[in-house]
């Protein structure tokens, strides 16, 4: 007989046991528990038929159709799950922990599996996620204008033992009009939030968590509202790096892409950049003068960033001038400043020594 697990118990076991999502492929694509395997009881069309029947005709006729569909698939479902879970222990969930997960769990139980079902299903997971993001965390944001190398500095902070979540990596987007270049297609907003949550569960909320200063939207995906609210109230280390260093970084990052694509993006931001600047940038790209084009792009991005940082409380923003484009060197200086200004966020500053940075 299948066990029923609360979301805490389910996620704890999911670290070692295969998780099976029995919802339709469409539901799974919209959002699922990271690492889960999709073995749908109904495909997209079948789920629509059962749901429509339930609403228009009634529960019993819908159940009859559902049992008929499931009966034909039962052998295949058992075979596929056996390949995923040779140890014959699995965790199963559907949308609300209802008939789909119960049906698959019963089938697996009869075939010798040890099965546990998520109580209240994927909906419980999403509620749990939002609740956890609402719990106060000691967030420090790394801010700075476009081309400052914030992502690389965050990576270096991770090497120093700091807790870091790279939101742009999870979003598969660098947060600008050019941010999709070289990236895989973005996940759905729901899946993006689920992927952040997997990282969030690994964080100690009593210790600093470093994130990049982001807007609510990164490309086409949105941050979880409770997390974004905390980020808006968080401390910001705002790095200031010489413009020529930033331009050079942008050239290295984007000059390798197709010229027509780059020109198209400049046209897209033309309303805010100004037609004259767009024409200058396009002409520069045609001449392969990518330095000039990158410099022009900062007309748009610097104004946008300053507008955003000005909306924050002045006491929550600490500027830090950096003279180098070296992320390793800059990470040490960022840590130094963090310990100076936010030492209360560190539980034991007197014993924390990172890469020669004494607190």
**What is the domain-level CATH number for residue 78?**
3.40.250.10
**Mean pLDDT for the stretch of residues 292-310:** 90
Whether residues 112 and 174 fall in one domain: no
Q: Looking at residue 313, what is its pLDDT?
A: 87
Quickly list DSSP for 277-316: HHHHHHHHHHTT-HHHHHHHHHHHHHHHHHHHHHTS-GGG
Q: Looking at residue 356, what is its pLDDT?
A: 45
pLDDT per residue as tens digits for the range 129-140: 999 999 999 999
Whether residues 100 and 216 fall in one domain: no
Whether residues 170 and 82 fall in one domain: no
Whether residues 245 and 175 fall in one domain: yes
Domain final residue pick, 130, 150, 184: 130
Dist. CA 126–CA 130, nearest whole Å: 6
Whether residues 175 and 324 fall in one domain: yes
Instruction: For residue 303, name the pLDDT band (cuts at 50, 70, 90).
Output: confident
Whether residues 28 and 65 fall in one domain: yes
**What CATH number has the domain bearing residue 179?**
3.40.50.300
Domain final residue pick, 100, 130, 160: 130
Q: Quick check: pTM over 0.85?
A: yes
Whether residues 195 and 292 fall in one domain: yes
The residues, any chain, with a CB within 8 Å of residue 20's CB and separated by 6 or more, are: 36, 37, 39, 81, 84, 90, 91, 92, 93, 104
Given the residues 14, 20, 65, 94, select the one marked as catalytic: 94
Q: Looking at residue 348, what is its pLDDT?
A: 47
User: Does 230 score more than 50 pLDDT?
Assistant: yes
Q: Is 94 among the residues known to form the active site?
A: yes
Looking at per-residue pLDDT, the higher value among 289 and 72 belongs to: 289
* Dihedral angle computed from the Cα positions of residues 147, 152, 153 and 154, in that order, rounded to the nearest 10 degrees: 120
Whether residues 89 and 150 fall in one domain: no
Domain membership of residue 161 as a residue range: 135-358
Whether residues 182 and 293 fall in one domain: yes
* Total domains, the chain: 2
* Percentage of residues of the chain with pLDDT beyond 90: 81
Q: Looking at residue 346, what is its pLDDT?
A: 60
Whether residues 145 and 30 fall in one domain: no
Whether residues 37 and 126 fall in one domain: yes
The mean pLDDT of the chain is: 93
**Mean pLDDT for the stretch of residues 37-45:** 96
Domain final residue pick, 86, 108, 130: 130
């Amino acid at each position: 007989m299948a066990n029923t697990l609360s979301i805490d118990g389910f996620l704890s076991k999911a670290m070692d046991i295969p998780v099976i999502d029995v919802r339709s492929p469409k539901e799974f694509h919209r959002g699922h528990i990271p690492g889960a395997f999709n073995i749908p009881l109904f495909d997209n069309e079948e789920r629509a038929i059962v749901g429509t029947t339930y609403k228009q005709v009634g529960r019993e006729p819908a159940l009859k159709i559902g049992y008929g569909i499931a009966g034909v698939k039962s052998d295949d479902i058992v075979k596929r799950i056996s390949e995923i879970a040779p140890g014959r222990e699995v965790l199963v969930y559907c949308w609300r922990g209802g008939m789909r997960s119960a049906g698959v769990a019963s089938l697996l139980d009869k075939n010798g599996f040890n099965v546990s079902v998520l109580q209240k299903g994927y909906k419980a997971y999403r509620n749990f996620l939002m609740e956890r993001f609402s719990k106060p965390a000691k967030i420090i944001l790394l801010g700075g204008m476009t081309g400052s190398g914030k992502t690389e500095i965050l990576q270096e902070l991770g090497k120093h033992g700091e807790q870091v979540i790279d939101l742009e990596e999870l979003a598969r987007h660098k947060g600008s009009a050019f941010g999709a270049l070289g990236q895989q297609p973005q996940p759905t907003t729901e899946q993006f939030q689920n992927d952040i949550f997997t990282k969030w569960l690994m964080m100690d909320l009593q210790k600093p968590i470093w994130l990049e200063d982001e807007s609510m939207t990164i490309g086409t995906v949105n941050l979880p509202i409770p997390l974004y609210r905390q980020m808006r109230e968080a401390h910001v280390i705002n790095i200031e790096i010489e413009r020529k260093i930033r331009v050079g970084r942008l050239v290295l990052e984007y000059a390798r892409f197709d010229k027509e694509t780059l020109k198209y993006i400049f046209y897209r931001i033309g309303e805010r950049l100004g037609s004259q600047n767009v024409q200058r940038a396009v002409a520069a790209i045609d001449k392969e003068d990518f330095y000039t084009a990158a410099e022009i792009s900062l007309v748009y991005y610097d104004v946008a960033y300053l507008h955003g940082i000005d909306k924050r409380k002045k006491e929550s923003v600490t500027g830090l001038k950096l003279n180098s484009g070296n992320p390793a060197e800059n990470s040490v200086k960022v840590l130094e400043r963090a310990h100076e200004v936010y030492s209360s966020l560190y539980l034991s500053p007197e014993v924390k020594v990172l890469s020669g940075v004494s607190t």
